[in-house]
């Protein structure tokens, strides 16, 4: 299985604040690799199904280990999976699943590198524009007011603390050895994190949102480091797998497929949040603030 995602561009971090057009282009590039992840995860699900089938066959053979029991095994497997089975075919299937699993893990490494290259391209470009916006707001007079504006993404009005807690929760899930934390995060990613519209009505809240967006950029890099760490450990275990390690291989493959899905979901919403803040923040006083009130 090849993961052909194109040529990665280096994130732009130098020079003046990028234009909204360049941020939009970077975001669309990120969206393309985000959509490609669906196909990648489908391959992962196919591997999970193959492991489930092997486990059913293995369990059945243990229950009917005698030569006479092989006929029973064939009947059970045929009824359960709709396929024929023999000792030789089981061995061939096992070897095929192991090879596919190792190829899947090799492609996870490529996915992490490509996905985060495009993700960081979006957020670093947006970050420079947000820096300029923060400076503009901080340079306003005490009595200056800003027009209302809105952005789409996670709620940043609670400030950097909520961002830190969200990112830390994802990191903890990735590092969870029992898989329960990761399963919970996967469930939460499907329904618990979403990109919704948020209104910003004053200067103070504008500054809170801008600073929280910058904090989200800083913490997002930690997610790449965490998934890389977990991936390398799982990859080593898979590379050294023996003939009897079907349970371990199944666990590691499912764990990493779930981790990819969790990271993809959270980072997708984070990227949209940061880019939306960068492109929509209002940092120039409205007309009422620019002119003195009529006497």
Read off the pLDDT of residues 111-143 as tens digits, 9 standing for 90 and up. 888 999 999 999 999 999 999 999 999 999 888
Q: What is the DSSP letter of 83?
A: S
Structure tokens at 252: 């590691």
Q: Kindly report which listed range (21-35, 70-84, 263-277) carries the lowest average pLDDT score.
A: 70-84
Per-residue pLDDT tens over the stretch 187-231: 655 545 678 899 999 999 999 999 999 999 988 888 888 888 888
Model pTM above 0.85: no
**Could you give the C-alpha distances from 17 to 96, 97, 124, 137, 147, in angstroms and in order?**
51, 49, 10, 15, 22
Q: In the chain, what is the straight-line distance between the N-terminal and C-terminal CA atoms, in Å? A: 74
Q: Is the pLDDT of residue 72 over 60?
A: no
Instruction: Write out pLDDT tens, residues 234-244.
Output: 888 888 877 66
Share of the chain above pLDDT 90, in %: 22
Give the side-chain half-sphere CA count within 13 A for 151: 26
Q: How many CB atoms lie within 10 A of CB 29?
A: 17
Model pLDDT, residue 183: 67
Unique residue bearing structure tokens 């050294």: 240
Residue with tokens 């080593």: 236
Element housing 132 (H / E): helix 87-138
Q: Is 197 left (phi over 0), alpha (psi -120 to 50) or beta?
A: beta
At residue 9, the pLDDT reads 47
How far is 239 from 176, CA to CA, in rounded Å?
21
Are 11 and 124 in contact, with CB atoms under 8 Å apart?
Answer: yes
Cβ-in-10-Å burial (0-12, 13-18, 19+) of 225 comes to exposed
């Amino acid at each position: 299985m090849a993961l052909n995602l194109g040529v990665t561009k280096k994130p732009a971090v130098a020079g003046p604040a990028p234009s909204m057009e360049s941020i939009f282009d970077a975001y669309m590039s990120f969206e393309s690799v985000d959509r490609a992840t669906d196909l990648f995860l489908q391959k992962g699900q196919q591997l999970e199904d193959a492991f489930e089938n092997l486990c059913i066959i293995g369990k059945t053979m243990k229950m009917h280990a005698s030569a006479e029991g092989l006929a029973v095994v064939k009947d059970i497997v045929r009824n359960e999976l709709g396929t024929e089975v023999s000792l030789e075919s089981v061995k061939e299937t096992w070897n095929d699943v192991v090879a596919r699993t190792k190829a899947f893990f090799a492609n996870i490494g490529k996915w992490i590198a490509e996905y985060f290259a495009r993700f960081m391209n979006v957020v670093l470009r947006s970050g420079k524009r947000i820096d300029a916006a923060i400076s503009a707001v901080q340079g306003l007079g005490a009595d200056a007011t800003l027009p209302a504006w809105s952005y789409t993404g996670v709620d940043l009005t609670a400030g950097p603390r909520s961002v830190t807690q969200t990112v830390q929760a994802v990191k903890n899930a990735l590092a969870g050895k029992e898989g329960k934390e990761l399963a919970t995060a996967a469930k939460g990613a499907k329904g618990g994190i979403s990109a919704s519209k948020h209104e910003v009505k004053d200067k103070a809240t504008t500054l809170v949102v801008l600073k929280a967006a910058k904090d989200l950029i800083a913490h997002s890099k930690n997610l790449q480091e965490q998934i890389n760490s977990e991936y390398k450990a799982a990859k080593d275990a898979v590379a050294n797998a023996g003939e009897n390690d079907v349970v371990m291989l199944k666990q590691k493959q499912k764990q990493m497929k779930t981790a990819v899905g969790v990271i993809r979901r959270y980072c997708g919403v984070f990227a949209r949040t940061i880019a939306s803040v960068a492109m929509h923040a209002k940092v120039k006083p409205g007309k009422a603030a620019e002119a003195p009130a009529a006497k």
